[in-house]
């Protein structure tokens, strides 16, 4: 990959924005970005190339170090962040402009979620120029804290009203909206805290979704691609529902129903949020390391959880009692073992062969 590094450095000496040809469409109208960079008080370089695990540049740090080493010019180097093609990473060499905070502020800002990469990078450079990057990052971080608190068991006001384990109440309420937003395939609206309020009602909803999946599969022609996998997931969901005693168990039913729907739907499967499947879809890939774990995993999460992880905060995790579900002894929980199917791909097979209740 030395040749690409040479090409990047040569290009950056002519213009401070390098976009690999295959990603040119990801950076529409880069003139605004160039304008912002020209107004910046320090040299800023943007290097937009894909980061691939196991590749020459597995993460932003390797890429920025390599390009800076070849360029031998100090300044701010902006790249994509590994794990997400829409997040920005920043490294500084020989300058001090709070650039990492500037990138963090853009990544944390919900208002930037649907902005183009050009707009996001431009905003990042403007923050670097303004000298307010740290303050703005802090504001975004505090706002995220408040959002997490409002959604977390025990932290906000809502869950206490139901006199349940707070996690269950929030969880149950979230499920009310699950099916609707899945079908529309639009960004998930904040679930209204109405609808099901007890574990029994969560069970009812899981049952209803299972029935709906069964009916949808019945109507499919026998030669539908993925039908076999879908039927396996459906059987596993039924088995999981029969054995379900807790909110994490019922969340597992919903995960399996979702897998069944994805398998028969012919779409690219979208897993539910790794941290709490009751949040709905997990469209954002995020790198995450479990407490005490050595491995960094890429998991799919909802926007709020992804943002929390990137800000090094604890997301609104689904708990089994007081313990995050994934920290439960794997010998006792197929959900912990598989991360609801995101850490290991054989969740359906494990459930079908009876891994549900070995405790």
Q: Which is nearer to Zn ion, 78 or 305 (CB)?
A: 305
Site string for Zn ion, 295-324 (x = CB under 5 A): -------x--x-------------------
Closest contact distance (angstroms) between CB of 263 and Zn ion is 22
Stretch that binds Zn ion, among 113-121, 268-276, 333-341, 348-356 (CB under 5 A): 268-276
Q: Which is nearer to Zn ion, 144 or 305 (CB)?
A: 305
Q: Which is nearer to Zn ion, 173 or 273 (CB)?
A: 273
Closest contact distance (angstroms) between CB of 12 and Zn ion is 37
Q: Which is nearer to Zn ion, 179 or 302 (CB)?
A: 302
User: d(Cα 232, Cα 229) in Å, to the nearest integer?
Assistant: 5
Helices (H) and strands (E) in the chain, counts: 13, 8
Reduce the DSSP state of residue 171 to 3 states and report it: helix
**Contact yes or no for 137/165 (Cβ under 8 A):** no
148 binds Zn ion (CB under 5 A): no
Could you say which of 77, 137, 275, 326 contacts Zn ion (CB under 5 A)?
A: 275
Q: Which is nearer to Zn ion, 43 or 269 (CB)?
A: 269
Closest contact distance (angstroms) between CB of 172 and Zn ion is 15
Closest contact distance (angstroms) between CB of 324 and Zn ion is 12
Closest contact distance (angstroms) between CB of 307 and Zn ion is 10
Q: Which is nearer to Zn ion, 76 or 170 (CB)?
A: 170
- Give whole-number Cα distances, 166 to 181, 197, 310, 342, in Å: 23, 10, 25, 25
**Contact yes or no for 261/161 (Cβ under 8 A):** no
Q: Which is nearer to Zn ion, 5 or 302 (CB)?
A: 302
- Give whole-number Cα distances, 137 to 104, 125, 222, in Å: 6, 14, 53
Could you say which of 173, 237, 273, 308 contacts Zn ion (CB under 5 A)?
A: 273
Strand partners, 323: 320
DSSP codes of every residue in 228-245:
HHHHHHHHHHHHHHHH--
- Give whole-number Cα distances, 234 to 178, 200, 206, 245, in Å: 18, 21, 12, 19
- Give whole-number Cα distances, 331 to 264, 328, 357, in Å: 31, 8, 9
Q: Which of residues 221-260 bind Zn ion (CB under 5 A)?
A: none
Count of residues interacting with Zn ion (CB under 5 A): 6
Reduce the DSSP state of residue 71 to 3 states and report it: helix
Q: Which is nearer to Zn ion, 5 or 284 (CB)?
A: 284
Could you say which of 205, 239, 279, 300 contacts Zn ion (CB under 5 A)?
A: 279
Angle between helices 133-151 and 117-130 (to 10 degrees): 120
Closest contact distance (angstroms) between CB of 342 and Zn ion is 12
User: d(Cα 93, Cα 50) in Å, to the nearest integer?
Assistant: 22
Question: Where along the sequence are the contacts to Zn ion (CB under 5 A)?
Answer: 273, 275-276, 279, 302, 305
């Amino acid at each position: 990959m030395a040749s690409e590094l040479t090409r990047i450095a040569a290009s950056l000496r002519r213009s401070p924005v390098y976009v690999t040809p295959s990603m040119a469409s990801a950076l529409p109208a880069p003139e605004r970005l160039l304008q912002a960079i020209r107004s910046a008080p320090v040299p800023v370089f943007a290097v937009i190339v894909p980061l691939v695990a196991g590749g020459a540049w597995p993460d932003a740090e390797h890429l920025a170090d390599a390009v800076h080493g070849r360029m031998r010019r100090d300044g701010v180097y902006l790249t994509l962040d590994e794990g997400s093609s829409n997040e920005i990473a920043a490294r500084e060499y020989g300058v001090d402009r709070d650039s990492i905070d500037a990138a963090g502020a853009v990544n944390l800002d919900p208002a930037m979620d649907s902005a183009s990469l050009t707009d996001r990078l431009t905003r990042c450079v403007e923050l670097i120029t303004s000298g307010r990057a740290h303050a703005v990052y802090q504001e975004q971080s505090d706002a995220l804290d408040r959002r997490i608190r409002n959604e977390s068991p025990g932290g906000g006001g809502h869950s206490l009203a139901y006199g349940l384990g707070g996690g269950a109440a929030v969880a149950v309420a979230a499920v009310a909206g699950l099916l609707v937003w899945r079908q529309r395939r639009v960004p998930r609206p904040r679930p209204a805290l109405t609808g099901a309020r007890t574990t029994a009602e969560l069970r009812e909803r899981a049952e209803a979704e299972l029935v709906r999946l069964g009916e949808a599969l019945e109507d499919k022609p026998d030669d539908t691609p993925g039908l076999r996998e879908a039927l396996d997931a459906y059987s596993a969901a039924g088995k999981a529902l029969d054995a379900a005693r807790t909110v994490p168990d019922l969340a597992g039913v919903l995960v399996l129903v979702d897998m069944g729907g994805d398998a028969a739907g012919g779409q690219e499967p979208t897993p539910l949020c790794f941290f709490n499947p009751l949040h709905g879809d997990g469209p954002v890939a995020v790198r995450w390391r479990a407490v005490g774990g050595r491995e960094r995993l890429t998991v799919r999460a909802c926007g709020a959880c992804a943002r929390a992880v990137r800000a090094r905060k604890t997301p609104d995790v689904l708990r089994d009692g007081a313990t995050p579900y994934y920290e439960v002894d794997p010998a006792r929980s197929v959900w912990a073992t598989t991360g609801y199917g995101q850490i290991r791909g054989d969740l359906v097979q494990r459930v079908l062969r009876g891994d549900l209740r070995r405790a």
